[in-house]
């Protein structure tokens, strides 16, 4: 089966611009998670979708970040406007059921200059 | 709150050397513990896991034992190979409450021939 796909793999944008990251989970996986690793630090949870609903968005850093999952399939994470501290690697993961086991994508490396 | 403290890197070893990467955790209740690995250019992959005290997770020659008394889950391998070069992340998942993973900062391992 196809894995979790994320794109773009890399993005370099200027401060103040908007960027949209996309995640395609494994087909049939209702649970979709976003995580972020800021340079050299731990990977931190951002939010969790169950189908199209936000189950937990406690990790979203501020209102410049907007995540959607229309139709319960792929998800997008938009950063608007981007700030320097938003630079990092954004990971997406999906799972069949909660606590079942995650499959991660290869991540999107975002650089804000 | 729940957290993971992981040995700082980077770690450089010669082929066939013994590897230990330390990981300790803080959690309420009885979490599940994981080691994830990220090879260059790839996503996070589950390496091994343990779901209760004294369980030993193992895979690809790596082992880690869930030690409740010392709140530790150290990763070990008796003889590393060049192909083991990667970033290793310790993580926990709380049994109840949040469904997300808490990660350590990651340890970069480089194995030289």
Q: Quick one: pLDDT band at residue A100, thresholds 50, 70, 90?
A: low
Judge contact between A67 and A77, C-beta under 8 A.
Answer: yes
Nearest chain B residue to A39 by CA: give it. Answer: B105
Confidence of residue A11 (pLDDT cuts 50, 70, 90): very high
**Cβ contacts (< 8 Å) between A99 and chain B: which residues?**
32, 93, 99
**Residue with the larger pLDDT of the pair B52 and B13:** B13
Identify the burial level of A25 via C-beta atoms within 10 angstroms of its C-beta, where 0-12 means exposed, 13-18 middle and 19 or more buried.
Answer: buried
Can you give the pLDDT at residue B33?
A: 93
Residue of B nearest to A5 (CA): B43
DSSP A36-98: EE-TTS-EEEEEEEETTEEEE-TT--STTEEEE-GGGS-EEEEESS--GGG-EEEEEEEESST
Q: Do A91 and B46 touch (CB under 8 A)?
A: no
Question: Strand, helix or coil at B62?
Answer: strand
- pLDDT tens digits along B55-105: 999 999 999 999 999 999 999 999 999 999 999 999 998 765 556 889 999
Dump pLDDT digits (tens) for A37-77: 998 789 999 999 999 999 999 999 999 999 999 888 999 99
The pLDDT of residue A1 is 63
| Cβ atoms B92, B33 nearer than 8 A | yes
- The 3-state DSSP class for residue B82 equals helix
């Amino acid at each position: 089966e196809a894995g979790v796909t994320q794109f773009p793999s890399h993005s370099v944008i200027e401060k103040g611009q908007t960027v949209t990251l996309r995640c395609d989970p494994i087909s049939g996986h209702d649970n979709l998670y976003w995580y972020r690793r800021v340079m050299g630090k731990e990977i931190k949870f951002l939010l969790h979708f169950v189908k199209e609903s936000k189950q937990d968005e406690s990790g979203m850093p501020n209102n410049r970040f907007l995540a959607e999952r229309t139709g319960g399939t792929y998800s997008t994470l938009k950063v608007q406007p981007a700030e320097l501290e938003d630079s990092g690697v954004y990971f997406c993961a999906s799972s069949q059921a909660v606590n079942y086991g995650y499959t991660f994508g290869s991540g999107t490396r975002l650089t804000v200059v | 709150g729940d957290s993971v403290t992981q040995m700082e890197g980077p770690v450089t070893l010669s082929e066939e050397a013994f590897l230990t990467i330390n990981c300790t955790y803080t959690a309420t209740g009885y979490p599940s513990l994981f080691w994830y690995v990220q090879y260059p250019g790839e996503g996070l992959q589950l390496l091994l896991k343990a779901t209760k005290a004294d369980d030993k997770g193992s895979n690809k020659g790596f082992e880690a034992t869930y030690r409740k008394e010392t709140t530790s889950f150290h990763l070990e391998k008796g003889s590393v190979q060049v192909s083991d070069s990667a970033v290793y992340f310790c993580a926990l998942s709380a049994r109840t409450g949040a469904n997300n993973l808490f990660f350590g900062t990651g340890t970069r391992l480089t194995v030289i021939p």
